[in-house]
Amino acid sequence: MSLPPHAIDEQQAIDITSSVSAQTLSFQATFDSIEAGDTVYQSVLASVRLPDAADLLACIKAAVKPHLSIGVRASDPPHFPHLSLFYGGIPTEAKPGMIRRLYDTDVVAERPGGGVEVAGVSTFEVGEIWLVRAEGPVHEWVVLAKRSLASP
């Protein structure tokens, strides 16, 4: 979930991250597809399928909402959740060629029965929540907190 800059202060965000991580069990996520996004943060991405995703996202939204004066969107942004493969101001017309090269060079492969592998990985364990202040260029981003999810 992304919020406008300074929607909540950093300590509130860290407290919320701690609360959500303590209430959320680690889980397996699956790469679903490779897509082109419309933002700098989603130039080319792997969409991710979560088991019981609504429960995790509802937990995060419920924890954040009391601290906001602006409200939380009822629906998630496009391509949420996802793993970005490329960030940047990549021209829209270049993205299909980038995706094709990922397949042509075997970085990405279709899986029988659906989904994709990225660098040989199709599923992965989600065991942490990272809270990152993502302002400015990527090299200026600051990790504010890392919290482990509860063990199943």
pLDDT tens digits, 5-17? 556 677 887 888 8
Angle at 71 (CA atoms; ends 70, 75), nearest 5 degrees: 135
- Write down the pLDDT at residue 81: 82
CA atoms of 126 and 152, how far apart (whole Å): 12
The confidence band for 114, taking pLDDT boundaries of 50, 70 and 90, is very high
CA atoms of 108 and 102, how far apart (whole Å): 5
CA atoms of 29 and 124, how far apart (whole Å): 5
- Write down the pLDDT at residue 126: 87
CA atoms of 117 and 46, how far apart (whole Å): 9
Average pLDDT of the chain is 83
- Write down the pLDDT at residue 2: 54
- Write down the pLDDT at residue 46: 96
Q: What is the residue extent of each domain of the chain?
A: 10-148
> Higher model confidence: residue 9 or residue 102?
102
Is beta strand 142-148 parallel, antiparallel or unpaired with respect to 123-126?
unpaired
Q: What is this structure's pTM?
A: 0.77
- Give 112's DSSP letter: T
CA atoms of 65 and 63, how far apart (whole Å): 6
Q: Is the pLDDT of residue 122 over 90?
A: yes
Q: Is the pLDDT of residue 111 over 90?
A: yes
At the topology level of CATH, where does 10-148 sit?
Answer: Cyclic Phosphodiesterase; Chain: A, (3.90.1140)
pLDDT one-digit tens code per residue, 38-85: 888 789 999 998 887 656 667 777 776 676 655 555 566 677 788 999
The runs of H, that is alpha helices, within 74-124 are 95-104
Helix axes 10-23, 53-64, angle to 10 degrees: 150
Question: Torsion angle of alpha carbons 50, 24, 27, 133, nearest 10°?
Answer: 70
As given in the structure block, the two tokens for residue 65 are 């909402």
Q: At 49, phi and psi to the nearest 5?
A: -100, 130
